[in-house]
């Protein structure tokens, strides 16, 4: 059975298949490749194959800048919940490079992190942590009621006289 993604408030089927560095490329379908493999394969991949990229914590998102217009999905790996480099990667992709496709958080994604990931631009979450999956299935959607740092999320309004203080959007993504 394919992995389930949490997106738009519910679980949806995952049409993308993760491939490693040595896995053969299929002729058709949708695959997520590690950054180096993507850069090697993008010019020679069959036209019937949709490619996406997996960025790990040590990968430089700037390397994808020339390819962003062709990508509909970028997966960002959170190898450990305590490693926040994925948040920075997402912000760089969205803010510096203008990526407006789907940003998928994969790896150690926990319930408490989802609202903060949304603020950085993530739109989908691959949930493997069983307690997080159960909580989301039960309708528990954690939201932070007041943000003190700005983000580029639609619907946020100023909170008070401080330009950097924000109120949350009307509804979660």
Encode pLDDT of 25-49 as tens digits. Answer: 999 999 999 999 999 999 999 999 9
137 shares its domain with 157: no
Is this structure's pTM higher than 0.85? no
77 shares its domain with 100: yes
Angular region, 107: left φ>0, alpha ψ -120 to 50, beta rest? left
62 shares its domain with 122: yes
CATH code of the domain containing 52: 3.20.20.70
Q: pLDDT digits over 13-31, tens only?
A: 999 999 999 999 999 999 9
**Domain that residue 108 falls in:** 4-142
57 shares its domain with 129: yes
Q: Is the pLDDT of residue 153 over 70?
A: no
């Amino acid at each position: 059975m394919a992995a389930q993604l949490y997106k738009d408030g519910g679980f949806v089927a995952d049409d993308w298949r993760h491939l490693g560095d040595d896995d053969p490329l299929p002729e058709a379908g949708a695959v997520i490749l590690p950054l180096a493999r993507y850069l090697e394969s993008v010019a020679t991949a069959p036209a019937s194959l949709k490619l996406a990229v997996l960025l790990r914590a040590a990968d430089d998102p700037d390397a994808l800048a020339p390819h962003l217009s062709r990508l509909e999905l970028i997966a960002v790996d959170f190898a450990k919940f305590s490693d926040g480099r994925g948040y920075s990667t997402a912000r760089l992709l969205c803010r510096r490079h203008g990526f407006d496709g789907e940003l998928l958080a994969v790896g150690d994604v926990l319930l408490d992190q989802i609202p903060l990931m949304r603020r950085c631009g993530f739109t989908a979450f691959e949930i493997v942590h069983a307690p997080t999956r159960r909580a989301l299935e039960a309708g528990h959607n954690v939201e932070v009621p007041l943000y003190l740092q700005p983000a580029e999320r639609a619907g946020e309004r100023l909170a008070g006289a401080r330009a950097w203080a924000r109120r949350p959007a009307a509804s979660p993504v």
